[in-house]
Amino acid sequence: MTEDIYVLGIETSCDETAASVVKNGKEIISNVVASQIESHKRFGGVVPEIASRHHVEQITLVIEEALTQAGMAPNELDAVAVTEGPGLVGALLVGVNAAKAFAFAHQLPLVGVHHIAGHIYANRLEQEMEFPLLALVISGGHTELVLMKEHGDFDVIGETRDDAAGEAYDKVARTLNLPYPGGPHIDRLAHESDGAIEFPRVWLEEGSYDFSFSGLKSSVLNYLHNAAQRGEEIPPEHIAAGFQNSVVEVVTAKAVRAAAQYKVRQVIAAGGVAANKGLRTSLTAAFDEKGIPFYIPPLALCTDNAAMIAAAGTVMFEKGIRGTMAMNGRPGMELASWT
């Protein structure tokens, strides 16, 4: 009989302070997330210094709560997994230092996890991953298509050349005077709308799996600016619907083409924008038609959490990957395969 593996995950790369205990990389035993959104709202975005300060205040409480909810003592754990990067440096440092202190105090192995690997492995908390696999990672900081031939093997076949999709959502929302984070508000308005402004689709060169959203964002801003100069009132929901249509059409088409080209057995979505209703509907319909299994984790696992970090960290731990007490937060960390 093989022993069960219990990993404590810690995530502080942006504006959520999170800790979680996961069993065998698949089963959530506890999952605690302290969100700072309310503190950043009035600034219209995440303020790094405020984020770091909140993480410092919350981290010990959140880790304790994750252990309490799991009903576990530190000596029952097998490892500590923490987001090493990418993210805000001051925010990452809080989690990395907490993880190092915890691992040192309880003599546990330490594993440093890439945030995007975490978003991808959130799916394993729901069902087993089948390879080759295509992951669409779409969040406030990332828009990537990642091909995986096996566990821990990451090949980024497409990425954004400028803004991440979530970033574009948040900026367009801001010009429409919607609260931060704006993604969910644009999504809601788009669904309520009875019309849509036609904005360009940015395909880039033939065959490219890369994305670009800053041109789309600029054309929305120009459209609003021109309308204002003419004294015209544009219903915000028509803007929201037009913008969302453009994002959804391009993302869906590229994901479907990549899945077909690489003959993948499974497609998964990850990241905050994967919560988008328009995108979920479009991707589900497109992959249904192609007969390719497609999954999106539940909302709470799409946005930042520590269960996904523990899930990815467990596979790294099983592969014998270990961090050291010299670990640092790495704001620009690249997604590298686990070898």
Sole binder of ligand KG4 in the list 85, 86, 90, 140 (CB under 6 A) = 140
* Residue 275 C-beta: closest distance to ligand KG4, Å: 4
The yes or no reply on residue 14 touching ligand KG4 (CB under 6 A) is yes
Q: What is the strand order of the sheet 143-148 is part of? A: 155-159, 143-148, 133-138, 266-270, 294-295
Restricting to residues 162-191, which ones interact with ligand KG4 according to CB under 6 A? 166, 169-170, 181-184, 187
Q: How far is 304 from 54, CA to CA, in rounded Å?
A: 16
Choices 66-74, 139-147, 207-215, 310-318 (CB under 6 A): range interacting with ligand KG4: 139-147
**What angle (nearest 5°) sits at the alpha carbon of residue 173, between those of residues 156 and 185?**
90
Of 103 and 309, which has the nearer Cβ to ligand KG4? 309
Sole binder of Zn ion in the list 12, 139, 276, 314 (CB under 5 A) = 139
Binding positions are 115, 119, 137-141, 170, 183, 187, 276, 304
Sole binder of ligand KG4 in the list 32, 51, 275, 335 (CB under 6 A) = 275
Q: How far is 123 from 298, CA to CA, in rounded Å?
A: 9
Binding positions for Fe cation are 115, 119, 304
H or E segment and range at residue 188: helix 183-192
* Residue 270 C-beta: closest distance to ligand KG4, Å: 8
* Residue 272 C-beta: closest distance to Zn ion, Å: 6
> How many CB atoms lie under 10 A from the CB of residue 193?
19
Sole binder of Zn ion in the list 11, 15, 237, 304 (CB under 5 A) = 304
Question: SS3 for 110?
Answer: strand
Which among 124, 139, 137 has a CA at the least distance from the CA of 15? 139
* Residue 109 C-beta: closest distance to ligand KG4, Å: 26
Measured in whole angstroms, the distance separating CA 204 from the mean position of its chain's CA atoms is 24
Length of the chain: 339
Binding-site partner at residue 95 among ligand KG4, Zn ion, none, CB < 5 to 8 Å by type: none
Binding-site partner at residue 170 among ligand KG4, Zn ion, none, CB < 5 to 8 Å by type: ligand KG4
Of 141 and 323, which has the nearer Cβ to ligand KG4? 141
User: Residue 127 corresponds to which tokens in the numbers above?
Assistant: 């069902």
* Alpha carbon distances (Å) from 252 to 145, 171, 196: 11, 21, 18
Choices 23-31, 133-141, 251-259, 313-321 (CB under 6 A): range interacting with ligand KG4: 133-141
DSSP-derived secondary structure for 51-87: HHHHHHHHHHHHHHHHHHHHT--GGG--EEEEEEESS
Choices 20-28, 120-128, 298-306, 309-317 (CB under 5 A): range interacting with Zn ion: 298-306
User: Residue 225 corresponds to which tokens in the numbers above?
Assistant: 């600016």
Which positions touch Zn ion (CB under 5 A)?
139, 304
Which positions touch ligand KG4 (CB under 6 A)?
14, 139-141, 166, 169-170, 181-184, 187, 271-273, 275-276, 303-304
